[in-house]
Amino acid sequence: MENEGIELAPISLQEARRRNLIEENFEPAINTSRFPPADTGKDAWLFLAACFTVEVLVWGFPFAFGLFQDYYSTHEPFSTSNSIAVIGACAMGIMYLGAPVVFAVLKQWPSLRRGACFVGLIIMCIGTGLSSLSQNVTHLILTQGILYAIGGSIAYCPTILFVNEWFIKRRGLAFGVMWAGTGVAGVILPLVLQHLLSTYGFRTTLRIWSITLFVFTFPLLYFVKPRLPTSQSHRHHSRTFDFSFLTLRTFAVLQACNVLEALGYFLPSIYLPTYAQQYLGASPFPAAFTLIAINVASVFGCIVMGSLIDRFHVTTCILLSSMGATVGTFLLWGFSTSLPILYLFCITYGLFAGSFSSTYPGIIKDVLKRSDTADAGLVFAFLAAGSGFGPVIAFTGVSAACGALSFVARSVGWLWVAE
């Protein structure tokens, strides 16, 4: 039936380019009928299951560093060192802050993406294996800290890029399921590693972990692969990528919220066990259970938030996450006079604050709508660098540098010092 008298408004060239870019970033405009379907099917779910397990293994180990820190600080030959905390800071910091570099390389040379998973795994295993031979903290910093983090970042970043191909309409849910792996790791790995450390010591524990990491991860990497051929799914990779999206108001506001939220996210994990023991009189295990409760709740929180981000605007989901964490902190933690109330806070905090990272797919989608040059992988990389230990490291460095302000003040004549 002809639509007589109806004139369709033409779209501008810029709008056409933007639509095409979004399509390329989120659903490549090619005939995909001969490839595995997105969002459904055994191939997509096997891929997601593999990514979930990679998340558990790659991120769970550095997140459990507190156990190693406690062990190193009480056992020779490391107990006299004041630099033990640097090991964990390097591991987490490099994995977060190195993401933009790795994503930039993988965008420029997309054929390296799948191979990077295997190379990164080998580097991680070598790092943990060599760390078992360490004779001082410097050795641990170079191996368990820096080398493991480099390998982890190289192995993990391709999974983010592949998710964008395997899941389109249900991308938020996919990322939520994948990132729930960190919460699962936070429940299981501390118990396992604590048993190994207390029974066999750090050398055997690190060797066992190196072997476990390889045995469980290597077979799964078969399923961690792109859905589409590189030549078709990344036709636009030859375009010179840029970072102009960093100047967008949309990205600036959402990234600022991301950084501010991340600055306080880890504080409960640091202080809750001590709070439970000193103020509520809890014994060590019930006090440690506060962290387990947060991690368990974050598993469900990530999945639920991932599902919501596919249905509602990102700012609505961020509001839900932020308000839930805020109300829970003031009303439950602020007035907790017994362990049950504190546990209720832990569950609430894990559900809402622990799910904040699952809003990233929504942020990326919003940024790509407003930029015709932005790349989904690079946007994610900067969001990741702005979360986790990134803001903590930046804040620590800036605060340390502020100590030199007195010298600057004297140099410009603001201070008068008697000679």
pLDDT on residue 231: 55
pLDDT on residue 229: 77
Would residue 405 count as lying in a domain? no
Would residue 14 count as lying in a domain? no
Say which CATH number the domain at 209 has. 1.20.1250.20
Residues 300 and 212 in one domain: no
Structural domain that includes position 121: 41-229
Would residue 413 count as lying in a domain? no
Say which CATH number the domain at 277 has. 1.20.1250
Would residue 92 count as lying in a domain? yes
From 208, 229, 250, the end of a domain falls on 229
Q: Classify 171 in phi/psi space as left (phi over 0), alpha (psi -120 to 50) or beta.
A: alpha
pLDDT on residue 126: 96
Residues 138 and 82 in one domain: yes
Structural contact between residues 294 and 185, judged by C-beta atoms closer than 8 angstroms: no
Domain count, the chain: 2
Would residue 24 count as lying in a domain? no
Residues 64 and 191 in one domain: yes
Q: Cα separation of 72 and 203, whole Å?
A: 11
Q: Cα separation of 235 and 246, whole Å?
A: 24
Would residue 35 count as lying in a domain? no
Q: How many CB atoms lie within 10 A of CB 324?
A: 17
pTM of the predicted model, to two decimals? Answer: 0.77
Residues 116 and 211 in one domain: yes
From 168, 195, 229, the end of a domain falls on 229
Residues 75 and 182 in one domain: yes
Burial class (CB in 10 A: 0-12, 13-18, 19+), 51: buried
Structural contact between residues 96 and 385, judged by C-beta atoms closer than 8 angstroms: yes
Residues 251 and 217 in one domain: no
Residues 250 and 373 in one domain: yes
Residues 148 and 269 in one domain: no
Q: Cα separation of 50 and 47, whole Å?
A: 5
pLDDT averages per 10-residue partition of the chain, 419 residues: 42 44 45 71 91 91 85 87 86 84 86 92 95 92 93 92 87 89 87 90 94 93 84 50 80 86 77 84 84 89 91 90 90 88 93 88 86 79 72 54 58 57
Would residue 61 count as lying in a domain? yes
Residues 214 and 299 in one domain: no
pLDDT on residue 236: 46
Residues 171 and 214 in one domain: yes
Residues 255 and 210 in one domain: no
pLDDT on residue 401: 53
Would residue 9 count as lying in a domain? no
3-class SS at 335?
Answer: coil
Residues 379 and 262 in one domain: yes
From 202, 229, 256, the end of a domain falls on 229
